[in-house]
Amino acid sequence: MHSRRRAGLSGLARWADAFSKASLGGYLRRLECGSIKASAREINDPVWSTISLSPFESLFIDSPLFQRLRRIRQLGVVHWVYPGALHTRFEHSIGTLHQVQQLIDSINRSAPGSINIEYTTLLRFAALCHDLGHGSTSHVSEKALSRRSEVSSILLEFGQKEKIERPALAEVVAYFLIGSPAFIQLFQYARAACSSITPGPDSIEQVKNIVVGRIVDPKMPLLQELISGPFDADKLDYMQRDAFMAGVPAITDVPRLVRKVRAVAVSEAQLPKRFTTTIESTSGTYTLFGLAQSGARTLDELLIARVMLFDKIYRHHKVRSLEGMVCRLYDALCECYKGAKYEVPYIFSDDILLDLQTVLRDGRFDDSHPSFAVALELSSKLKQRDTYVRAFAFGKHFPELQHDESARIGMDRFIGDVEGDIEDNISQAIAEEVKKVARLLKQRPLLKKFKDTSLRSYIWIDPPSKTDHGKKVAHALLIGENSEIFRYSDHSVEVPNWSQGYLSKKDIGFIYCPEELKELVFLATEKLLAEKYSVSALNSAKVHFKVDKVSISEKREELRTKRFYNKLAHSLRPTPPRLLAIDAKDTCEAVLSKLYGHSPPISNPGEKQIYPLTADRIIRWLGQFENNADITSALTLIQSIQLVGRLSYVTAVKNFIERNRKFESATIVPLGDARDSGSTVAYLVGDLGLNISSLTQALDDRQPLIFVDDFIGSGEQASDIVRSWFSKSAGVQNHEGPRMELSPSQQNKLRERPVSFVFASGWTSGAARLKTECSDLQFFVETDIGINEDSVPSIDSVADIPAEFKERCRSIGKQLLQSTNRSWPVQRYEERALGYGNKGLLVTFPFNTPTQTLTCIWSEGAYNGFRWMPLLPRRKKK
Amino acid sequence: MPGRTFRCGERFNEALKIAYDRLVNKTGVKASFLIQLDPLHGDSSTINEGLIGAVRRDMISLDNPSFEKFRLKLEADEAEEILKHVRGGHELYKQLVKDFLNEYSEAGSAAATAI
């Protein structure tokens, strides 16, 4: 029944004809010779009790094409999780017939004669036919096959031709089976054999239309929706049946919903506006079906029940794992099948799919193809319920993503890529990483036990669902007491969207694999997400799957030593084990507390998220050091960083005045221009109650002056400022434009009063140089430093800092300066690798960090080719 | 344009359908999906699921209480970043958006005139 020449939609149609003929051939011969007698029967159903079937329906049900449905489970793989859910498409189809009869009876009770006997038999027949096109494992095989381009292109072709948006494979196959010559013959024989009422002669085309959801009768535009619509017989049966068989409570009051179904005759003018764009104008009235307004609540229940079924059964994580395995099994079977791939689900029943060992060797499959052995392996695994497990979880709503824009965009891209990954590129990429990880961890023998050497068959990525849960139900019409019509979606706006929102937020993506590969797949996926999508450390996702933290941590460390993570930016590398120790977090919290009030510069005023210093930022900075010994040293080092802030500024000036009473009524003047840090210091020193003024204003009175600034290093910059006042600038390189000059009279005024320079911190040699420079200008001043070099911490003053770590800091600093100041003379990188003056200070100010501080603390740039994140960023000079 | 709102009703669906058809017909792009509006209800599963995907991906939020309006949450730089990685190139998508917005606003003007 397979042929290499069949392709495209016409190939599928021809195959359906052949499949139908092969299935029905013997049965048709028996019907023809009259050996089968038609008789009505009653079937006992566990959900709906007694179901009556007409002779025509009995004949049809007994046909091999319908009996095939006994061997196709309604829920595919769910019975491996809910053992009772063994029901098949067979009983569901009969249940759908029963439910459509209930709907018809209810409609006719409220509006007698609305659905006549011809349409009744038609709808009953359509109910029996609606699932005829399912292959083994129902929607699971459909999902597996639809991922293959040769099948998806056929579905697209059918959709374009028949103007159906998203035809499912089972619908398309049913459509062609029903239209096949053998099926038509069955229909005709069955009609001829039955003296009772049977579907009309046009029923074949009508059933085909109903199966794909097309309007059957413009005068009754919602007739087909009794089979597939907002409150259709299909849904009313499967929701109750699935819940009942799985042993899960069902909350929909189906009998009440059915009782509330109504028919209403309306004129053309009363039709909903949208209907008038589709339905041709005819004389007379139209019949619409809806629910009595008083029954709207049963639709709410229907939606809520559907949410529960999705949450508990259809999207159960183990069900999704089994579906993934079955999809991979179909992938392997399709690869080695000689005919058209869409035929594969129609070759086996569900049970035979688990026992392929003998069945596969019938010539239809290429047993020399590598996928043949993979199919047998997966079939055997399923039979033993050796299922795939969750190795990774992903989604858009994890808390870590909320404050990390690049990770949020990266995760978005990942989900989008997974959804559109028909070629399975992402599974393949993870598989390649798994091989690398296995090689580095010397676990390659583990991989040899798997038949698929590409490993792709053992990795299944199941993204979060985007199934439309509420819209179809929201299409329902409600009918008021005076036959007025309105939409359920207008009456109950919240429930359809609430149910959708609940599942959208709750449903997350998983990556499944065999238990033995779990840790390798986790490590491989973690790396892939960091490298390609800038997503790292989804710690909150780890509650959704089980990996041994200690084992993963050990493996990460081993991989780190083997440079597995070296291509990743530091921030994307896994947290080093040293930083997972309890004392690391405690130390970071203590440092955070010590530096409270530090407010780093905003590098990009447009940025949405301004990152203050946080424990997490400290951890990330520390994580940039490459080994545990350096991280330990860095932890020690940062505890000595001193924030020279408001208190230090005020104290420095206060102490100076106490020692120099002539400055009690001094005016505070910021050293330098408005752009310099002296302005901020002067403002804060204002806490002492002294006047604060600019230099030019201060010169207008006769008060002593105290110039203030936060730091003095070599004294070069401060000296240059003073020389500028006296028009004697020595031309110190100044990136920020010319300095202020004073007029001769202002210079005299400055020389005539007591003047002091007070720095919150700095070097005494710098202050001494400043004093000398001033003397040379006949400008006699006092200088003072609040915290001098004896008290300012530096890398050399911290105990237990090994020389190797200092060298590491020097190397990092040099690279950072080289990457950010490309035009410097070579010597300057060496001179400033540990900060300006190479003293490696450990000091910062509330709004900036001086260049004298250890370079790797404040500088951005690149280290070993990757972006370095500074701990205390410094404002960039223009 | 974050904060911009759309009403996900017939106008929205029709404008998107026209933009999609124009893209497919004009550029010969072989899309792997169809947009076919439901003849009776005027909506589309493809569009609905696209919107659900966008909510789930935090690109839009549906507004209470009617959930018929949605609000764009995507910042321009985020959109640009996403566009860098889309299949078929970003120009295609920009054209699609342009056509959609033209149709959507024209449909809005027509509706306003009708009222």
What are the chain A neighbours of B65 within 8 Å (beta carbons)? 493-494
Cis previous bond, A345, omega within 30: no
What are the chain B neighbours of A215 within 8 Å (beta carbons)? 39-40
Give the model confidence (pLDDT) of B65-92 as tens digits. 556 788 888 888 888 888 888 878 888 8
The pLDDT of residue A346 is 95
Beta strand A509-513 pairing with A460-462? antiparallel
- Whether pLDDT at B111 is above 70: no
The pLDDT of residue A601 is 82
Domain count of the fold of chain B: 1
Q: How confident is the model at residue A609 (pLDDT cuts 50, 70, 90)?
A: very low
Provide the ipTM: 0.86
The pLDDT of residue A678 is 94
The more confident residue out of A536 and A42 is: A42
Can you tell me the distance from the alpha carbon of B113 to that of A38, in angstroms, rounded to the nearest whole number? 63
Of the candidates B35, B52, B58, which has its C-beta nearest A165's C-beta? Answer: B35
Query: A776: distance to nearest CA of chain B, Å?
Result: 56
Inspect the interface and report whether the beta carbons of A468 and B48 lie closer than 8 Å.
yes
Show which residues on chain B lie within 8 Å of chain A, measured between beta carbons. Answer: 10, 32-46, 48-49, 52-53, 55-59, 62, 65-68, 75, 78, 81-82, 85, 87
Give the chain A residue whose CA is nearest to the CA of B8.
A471
A731 conformational bin, left if phi > 0, alpha if psi -120 to 50, beta if neither: left
Interface-testing mutation among B57, B59, B77, with chain A (most A C-beta atoms within 10 A): B57
Q: How confident is the model at residue A614 (pLDDT cuts 50, 70, 90)?
A: confident
The pLDDT of residue A241 is 97
Q: What's the average model confidence in pLDDT over A637-658?
A: 95
Give the model confidence (pLDDT) of A240-269 as tens digits. 999 999 999 888 899 999 999 999 999 988
Inspect the interface and report whether the beta carbons of A471 and B43 lie closer than 8 Å.
yes
The identity of residue A417, as a single letter, is: D
Gyration radius of chain A's alpha carbons:
40
Of the candidates B41, B57, B67, which has its C-beta nearest A493's C-beta? Answer: B67
Give the chain A residue whose CA is nearest to the CA of B56.
A504
Can you tell me the distance from the alpha carbon of A337 to that of A331, in angstroms, rounded to the nearest whole number? 10
Can you tell me the distance from the alpha carbon of A242 to that of A236, in angstroms, rounded to the nearest whole number? 10
Can you tell me the distance from the alpha carbon of A771 to that of A768, in angstroms, rounded to the nearest whole number? 5
Beta strand A705-712 pairing with A755-762? parallel
Cβ-Cβ contacts under 8 Å for A745 (sequence gap 6 or more)? none
The pLDDT of residue B67 is 63
Give the chain A residue whose CA is nearest to the CA of B45.
A468
The identity of residue A359, as a single letter, is: V
The pLDDT of residue A164 is 93
The more confident residue out of A282 and A332 is: A332
Q: What is the DSSP string of A408-438?
A: HHHHHHHHHHHHT-TT-HHHHHHHHHHHHHH
For A607, counting Cβ atoms within 10 Å of its Cβ (0-12 exposed, 13-18 middle, 19+ buried), the class is: exposed
- Whether pLDDT at B115 is above 50: no
Q: List the beta bridge partners of residue A264.
A: A288
Q: List the beta bridge partners of residue A389.
A: A513
For A448, counting Cβ atoms within 10 Å of its Cβ (0-12 exposed, 13-18 middle, 19+ buried), the class is: exposed
Of A145, A156, A141, A131, nearest to A8 by C-alpha is A156
Give the chain A residue whose CA is nearest to the CA of B36.
A165
Give the model confidence (pLDDT) of B92-106 as tens digits. 888 899 999 999 887
Six-digit token pair at A247? 């042993």
- A473 vs A220, A287, A496, B63, CA distance in Å? 19, 19, 8, 20
Six-digit token pair at A873? 């960023």
- Whether pLDDT at B109 is above 80: no
Inspect the interface and report whether the beta carbons of A165 and B48 lie closer than 8 Å.
no
Q: What's the average model confidence in pLDDT over A716-722?
A: 92
Q: 3-class secondary structure for A39-75?
A: CCEEEEECCCEEEEECHHHHHHHCCHHHHHHHHCECC
The pLDDT of residue B112 is 44
Of A431, A418, A388, nearest to A521 by C-alpha is A431
- A187 vs A180, A182, A301, A803, A820, CA distance in Å? 11, 9, 38, 92, 82
Can you tell me the distance from the alpha carbon of A644 to that of A396, in angstroms, rounded to the nearest whole number? 41
Cβ–Cβ under 8 Å, residues A253 and A298? yes
Distance of CA A291 to the CA centre of its chain: 38
Q: Count residue pairs from A and B with Cβ separation < 8 A.
A: 96
Give the chain B residue whose CA is nearest to the CA of A275.
B40
* Phi, then psi, of A779 in degrees rounded to 5: -125, 105
What are the chain B neighbours of A413 within 8 Å (beta carbons)? 82, 85
The pLDDT of residue A469 is 65
User: HSE on the CB side for A432, CA within 13 Å?
Assistant: 6
Give the model confidence (pLDDT) of A746-767 as tens digits. 999 999 999 999 999 999 999 9
The pLDDT of residue A734 is 54
The pLDDT of residue A699 is 93
The pLDDT of residue A3 is 46
Its sign, for the CA torsion A160, A328, A93, A112, is negative
What are the chain A neighbours of B41 within 8 Å (beta carbons)? 274, 475
For A711, counting Cβ atoms within 10 Å of its Cβ (0-12 exposed, 13-18 middle, 19+ buried), the class is: buried
Give the model confidence (pLDDT) of A147-201 as tens digits. 999 999 999 999 999 999 999 999 999 999 999 999 999 999 999 988 878 898 8
Q: What's the average model confidence in pLDDT over A497-505?
A: 72
pLDDT > 90: percent of chain A? 69
Give the model confidence (pLDDT) of A79-116 as tens digits. 999 999 999 999 999 999 999 999 999 999 999 999 99
Give the chain A residue whose CA is nearest to the CA of B47.
A468
* Phi, then psi, of A843 in degrees rounded to 5: -140, 145
Query: A164: distance to nearest CA of chain B, Å?
Result: 7
The more confident residue out of A469 and A775 is: A775
What are the chain A neighbours of B17 within 8 Å (beta carbons)? none
Question: A671-687 burial string, b = 16+ CB within 10 Å, else e?
Answer: bbbeebbbbbbbebbee
Inspect the interface and report whether the beta carbons of A413 and B85 lie closer than 8 Å.
yes
Show which residues on chain A lie within 8 Å of chain B, measured between beta carbons. Answer: 152, 156, 159-160, 163-166, 215, 221-222, 274-275, 277-278, 395-397, 405, 408-409, 412-413, 415-417, 419-420, 422, 464, 466-468, 471, 475, 493-494, 496-497, 500-501, 504-505, 507, 608
Can you tell me the distance from the alpha carbon of A274 to that of A289, in angstroms, rounded to the nearest whole number? 16
- Whether pLDDT at A877 is above 80: no
- Whether pLDDT at B47 is above 50: yes
Q: 3-class secondary structure for A325-371?
A: HHHHHHHHHHHHECCCHHHHHHCCCCCHHHCHHHHCCCCCECCCCHH
Give the chain B residue whose CA is nearest to the CA of A147.
B32
Can you tell me the distance from the alpha carbon of A621 to that of A59, in angstroms, rounded to the nearest whole number? 76
Its sign, for the CA torsion A404, A406, A407, A412, is positive
Query: B30: distance to nearest CA of chain A, Å?
Result: 10
- Whether pLDDT at A605 is above 70: no
Cβ–Cβ under 8 Å, residues A193 and A39? no
Can you tell me the distance from the alpha carbon of A122 to that of A101, in angstroms, rounded to the nearest whole number? 11
Packing angle of the helix pair A716-725, A744-751 (nearest 10 deg):
120
Count of Cβ atoms closer than 10 Å to residue A580 Cβ: 13
Of the candidates A159, A274, A275, which has its C-beta nearest B10's C-beta? Answer: A274
* Phi, then psi, of A822 in degrees rounded to 5: -70, -25
Give the model confidence (pLDDT) of A813-864 as tens digits. 999 999 999 899 999 999 999 999 899 999 999 989 999 999 999 999 999 8
Can you tell me the distance from the alpha carbon of A243 to that of A95, in angstroms, rounded to the nearest whole number? 14
- Whether pLDDT at A494 is above 80: no
Six-digit token pair at A219? 């005068």
For residue A562, what is the enclosing H or E element? none
Q: What is the mean pLDDT of chain A?
A: 91
Give the model confidence (pLDDT) of A784-816 as tens digits. 999 998 899 999 999 989 999 999 999 999 999
Its sign, for the CA torsion A827, A830, A832, A837, is negative
Give, as one character, the DSSP assignment of residue A626.
S
Q: B20: domain range?
A: 5-114
- Whether pLDDT at A721 is above 70: yes
Inspect the interface and report whether the beta carbons of A156 and B34 lie closer than 8 Å.
yes
Cβ–Cβ under 8 Å, residues A816 and A856? yes
The pLDDT of residue B114 is 38
Q: What's the average model confidence in pLDDT over A526-545?
A: 86
> Mean pLDDT: which of A3-12, A602-611, B8-17 is highest?
B8-17
Give the chain B residue whose CA is nearest to the CA of A149.
B32
Query: B43: distance to nearest CA of chain A, Å?
Result: 9
Give the 3-state secondary structure of residue B110.
helix
